[in-house]
Every structure is written in structure tokens, then in C-alpha cells.
Structure 1
Amino acid sequence: MKLSYVFDAYCGWSYGFADTMRRIAAGHPELPVEVVSGGLFTGDRRRPIGAFGYVQGSNAKIAELTGAVFGDAYERLVADGSFVMDSEDAARGMAALRQAAPGRAVELAAALQGAFYRDGLSLSDPATYRRLAEAHGLDADRVVAAFTAPASRAAAGADFARAAALRVDAYPTLLAVDGDHVRLLARGHATAEEVERRLATVLTGN
């Protein structure tokens, strides 16, 4: 069995779920974790952040429920309203980080979200991935090269296809996958304790 974690780096609820996901992964080192990028802001949803009028209210709710901190640099992006969130670029970046350190995908997914939601950095900018790689002891040149390579678009597409195959259309979603058997552990907000209870049911076969 493995855990499949489908998130979007530009999804505030995924950002709020990051601590829960870290705790679950750390508590179950015996379970491989597949980190999959969703495609929340692609196609005609790839618009300036100001076009999504619900963002500030949603962020307040996320902070209240999860304790997630939204940084001043990010808040300035929201106030300006012109920043465009591109989930394909974010997925390309996640693929590059995952390729550099497959066993640290959960940690790096959280770091990727922190770069946007705390530091206000664009996930379309190669400099963001250089900074993340250096901060996490990865080969920065290799990560940037992987992000900018044409193959990164195929990697993003593969993630979107995997999310679709898992029938995930809301982020974050955490699944327990055992062959053809898929059990839902979390969709949207969930505490680590809630996920642990559901996971225990799966592991014990009850």
C-alpha cells in the first residue's frame, strides 16, 4: 500500500494541509508517498489573482482552521491583484524537485507552497527553484535545468493525468492506494488525528 497525495501548489487549502501531511508521512515511514500535482489554475482558470474574489476570505478560514501563516509578501500580491497563478508551471517545478530528491517529496511540496504563500515568490520563475534547491541542500543547477527543460511539461501532464486517473478533482486529497483499492483519507481540511483514525481503519482492514 502507498499514500497518494494530490495537491496544487497554488491551492490555499493544500497549503493549510501541509503540516498534517508532514505529520502523516513522518508517522508512517513504512508507507511510500506519491506526491501528485493537480491542475487547479490551468486553461481559462489561468487568470490574475484579483479575478478570484474569494481568496482573502478563504485564506482567513484556512488560517483559522489550520494555523497556516500567510506572509506579508504574499498578501501584497493579493492586494495588487495582477499576479497570475499557473499550475502547470508549479507542477513542472514540483516534478523537478521530486526528481532531485524523490524521498523528500512531501517536504519539498510544503517548501514550494511556502515560497508562494509566505515569501510571495512566483512558481513560474526559475530563480524560485534555485532558491528552494539551495535552501534544501539540492543541486540547484540540476533542479533549474529540470524545471526549464521541455520534458518538464510532459512531467506536469503526467501528474495531471495521474490525478484524473485517481478521480481527484479537489485539492488537497489524500488516498490510501493498494492495487485497485483506493480509500479516501482526506479531502480539503483534515487534522492529522482525523487522518490517522481513517488510516488505522484501512491498515487493520476494518
Structure 2
Amino acid sequence: MKLVYVFDAYCGWSHGFSPTLREVASRHPELTVEVVSGGLFTGERRLPIREFGHVPGANAKISELTGAEFGDSYQRLIADGSFVMDSEAAARGVAALRQVAPTRVVELAATAQRAFYVHGRSLSETATYREIAEQIGLDADAVAAAFEAPEARATAEADFARAAELCAHGFPTLLAVDGDRATTLARGHATADDVARRLAASPTF
């Protein structure tokens, strides 16, 4: 059995879920965690952030429930409104980090989200992933090369297909997966204790 975490780096609820995921992973070091990008802002949803009028209110609710930080640089992006959240680019970035440090996927997902939600950094730019790599001690050249590689787009699409295969249409979704059987442990907001209770009751555990 393993845990599969389907998230989107541009999803505020996923940002708020990061501490829960870290706690769950720390309680269960025997379980592999697979991190999959879901593709929230792709196609016709790849629009300036001003088009998503619910975002400020949602962020306030996320912060209230989870304590998640939304930094000043990010707030300036919201106020300006022209920034475009491109989940395909973010998925390529997460995949690049994952390729270089596959055993650190939980940390990498959270760090990518902090780059955007706390520091206001675009997840479509190579420079952002260089900064992330340097911050957490990875090979920045290797991460940048993986992000820019021709096959990176296919990797992002494979993540989106994996999310669809798991019927994870809302983010974040945490699943316990054993072969063909998947049990939902969390969707949206949940505490580590909530997940622990559901995991203990799961037929896959």
C-alpha cells in the first residue's frame, strides 16, 4: 500500500493541506508517498487571476482553518490581477523537482507552493525552480534542465491522466492505494488525526 497525494501547486487548499501531509508522512515512514499534479488551471481555465473572484475569500477561509500563510508578495499579485496561473507549467516544475529528489516529494510539493503563496514567485519560470533547488540543497542545473526538457510536457500530461484515473477531480485529494483499490483519506481540508482515523478504518491498511 502507498499514499497518493493529488494536488495542484496553484491550489490554495493544497497549500493549506501541506502541514497535514507532512505530519501524515512523518507518522507513517513505512508508506511511500506518490505526489501527482492535478491540472487545475489548464485549457480555458488558464486565465488572469482577476477572473477568479472567489480567491481572496477562499484564501481567508484557508488561513482561518489551516493557519496557511499568504505572503505580501503573493497578495500584490492578487491585487494586480494580471498574473496567469498555468498548472501545466507548475506540473512540469514539480515533476522536475521530483525527478531530481524522488524521496523528498512531500517537502518539494510544499516548497513549490510556498514559492508562490508566500513569496509570489511564478511557477512558470525556470528561475523559480533554480531558487527552490538552491534553497533545499538540490542541483539547480539538473532541476532547470528537467523543467525545460522537451519531455517535461508529456510528464505533466501523465500526471493529469493519473489524477483522472484515480477520479481525483478536487484538490487536494489524499488516497490510500493498494493495487487497484483506492480509499479516499482526505479531500480538501483535513487534519492529520482525521487522516489517521480514516487510514485505520481503510480496508487497504
- Under a length normalisation based on structure 1, what TM-score does the superposition of the two structures give? 0.98
Partner of 1:139: 139
CA distance in 2, matches of 1:103, 1:26: 13
Work out whether 1:56 is the aligned partner of 2:56: yes
Whether the 8 Å CA contact 2:2–2:176 is kept in 1: the answer is yes
Residues 46 and 117 of structure 1: CA distance in aligned 2, closer, same or farther (over 3 Å): same
The letter of the residue matching 1:162 is R
SS, match of residue 41 in structure 1? coil
Partner of 1:130: 130
CA distance in 2, matches of 1:176, 1:204: 7
1:96-115 matched pairs, under 5 angstroms:
96-115=96-115
SS, match of residue 202 in structure 2? helix
Partner of 1:154: 154
The CA deviation at 1:204 is 8.1
* RMSD, aligned α-carbons: 0.9
Tell me which stretches of 4 or more aligned residues in structure 1 moved more than 4 Å: none
Question: Any unmatched runs of 5+ in structure 2?
Answer: none
CA distance in 2, matches of 1:200, 1:73: 40
The CA deviation at 1:203 is 6.5
Residues 204 and 144 of structure 1: CA distance in aligned 2, closer, same or farther (over 3 Å): closer
The CA deviation at 1:176 is 0.3
Question: Any unmatched runs of 5+ in structure 1?
Answer: none
The CA deviation at 1:153 is 0.3
C-alpha offsets along residues 50-102 of structure 1, whole Å, 9 cap, x if unaligned? 11000000000000000001000000000000000000000000000000000
CA distance in 1, matches of 2:127, 2:45: 24
- Under a length normalisation based on structure 2, what TM-score does the superposition of the two structures give? 0.98
The letter of the residue matching 2:65 is L
C-alpha offsets along residues 112-141 of structure 1, whole Å, 9 cap, x if unaligned? 000000000000010000000001110000
The letter of the residue matching 1:179 is G
CA distance in 1, matches of 2:196, 2:85: 32
Partner of 1:188: 188
1:23-34 matched pairs, under 5 angstroms:
23-34=23-34
